Amino acid sequence: MKRVWAPWRMKYILAKTQKGCIFCQRVKKGKEKEYLLLYKNKYSLVIMNRFPYTCGHLLVAPNRHTANLDDLATREINDLFLTLRKSVALLNKAMKPHGYNIGMNLGRIAGAGIEDHLHLHIVPRWKGDTNFMPIVADSMVISESLDGTYDRLVSFFKNLKEMRRCK
């Protein structure tokens, strides 16, 4: 039997047992790089996924803690999707992906890893970014460190306030 060691996965496994909401904790604490917080405004925030599928995997969430879309006011929904749209535009500039997977998993049965605070996933994709590793070794190869990706993206997100208006 072949083994692929992935000791960094223990951090993910242990994180599943932590108390509190990762989005709300990141909103309150103000340690941007430590919490991978790229952007926050009155209604929404953008953080990097600590356990990404690919480089630049972002999570866009409302600041208000809710699992239910119906709980969000129209202004919160509008801001959430404007933030999503602008995040994609910034990823285009910063990372130049060839496409995206964008989605929301509502409820545990739908695959939500964090089911109490709704959020959108933005997963940049590049031609040829999939390989045999997930199939034969149940492992993913991420080509850049989280710190490196954060440093690459944070300067782009500083300009997000200037991009708020719809074109």
Q: Model confidence over 102-113: pLDDT tens digits?
A: 999 888 888 778
Strand-pairing partners, residue 120, are: 60
Distances (CA, A) of 104 to 1, 87, 99, 148: 37, 15, 17, 26
Distances (CA, A) of 116 to 61, 65, 145: 11, 7, 28
The Cα–Cα gap between 16 and 155 comes to 30
User: What's residue 54's pLDDT?
Assistant: 84
User: What's residue 25's pLDDT?
Assistant: 77
CATH numbers and ranges of domains, the chain = 18-161 (3.30.428.10)
Residue numbers in the chain where pLDDT is lower than 50: 1, 131-137, 166-167
User: What's residue 1's pLDDT?
Assistant: 46
* pTM, full prediction: 0.76
Distances (CA, A) of 51 to 54, 106, 131, 146: 9, 19, 18, 9
